[in-house]
Amino acid sequence: MNDQIRRNLALFPIGIVQKLTDLTARQIRYYEQHQLVYPARTEGNQRLYSFNDVERLLEVKKLIEQGLNIAGIKTVLGTAKTASELLPISEKEQAKMVKEVKRDLSDRELRDLLKKEILHTHKPGLKGMQHNSFNAGDLSRFFH
DNA sequence: GTTCTGACA
DNA sequence: TGTCAGCA
């Protein structure tokens, strides 16, 4: 039996995963609802997680702690219909994606601002916006 | 004893 | 997200 298979064996019930990830059962189920993980089920419909699932959850946790919401996490980690479709993503790739997403969002935010300015050309209040200056290095600011 | 789904603050 | 209900 090779590692690939061993890592995908559904072994742990949610209680164990809670301890392994420091996430609450509520959170773990919530992330599943949003297709961030795909745990197997027993005949009794109880979730069983593999090592891969646990790793995946740790990635999710990391991004949550960075302030990203579900949409942002999906953008970085990607989605799949089944656990077997989940492709590992290196830290380097991840960092790269975060950077790209960050730039895209910055651009979008910029366009939105321009649009607003154009729409409100006759309104005097631009002071508020300038206060909303963006931190180019903070992705979470856009994915909240 | 544990987990599951649904629902509400 | 936390938490509670009512089951399996």
Instruction: Specify the pLDDT at position A127.
Output: 53
Amino acid A30 CA to nucleotide C8 C1' distance, rounded Å: 21
Q: pLDDT (tens digit, 9 = 90+) per residue, A72-113? A: 888 888 776 555 566 666 766 676 666 665 566 556 666 677
Domain topology for A3-85: Multidrug-efflux Transporter Regulator; Chain: A; Domain 2 (1.10.1660)
Residue ranges, comma separated, of all CATH 1.10.1660.10 domains in chain A are 3-85
Q: Is the CB of A16 under 7 A from strand B?
A: yes
Residues with CB under 7 A from strand C: A 24-27, 30, 44, 64
Instruction: Give A95's Cβ-side CA count (13 Å radius).
Output: 3
pTM of the prediction?
Answer: 0.72
Amino acid A130 CA to nucleotide C2 C1' distance, rounded Å: 37
Instruction: Specify the pLDDT at position A5.
Output: 66
Please calculate the CA angle A84-A89-A94 and round it to the nearest 5 degrees. 145
Strands A40-41 and A47-48: antiparallel
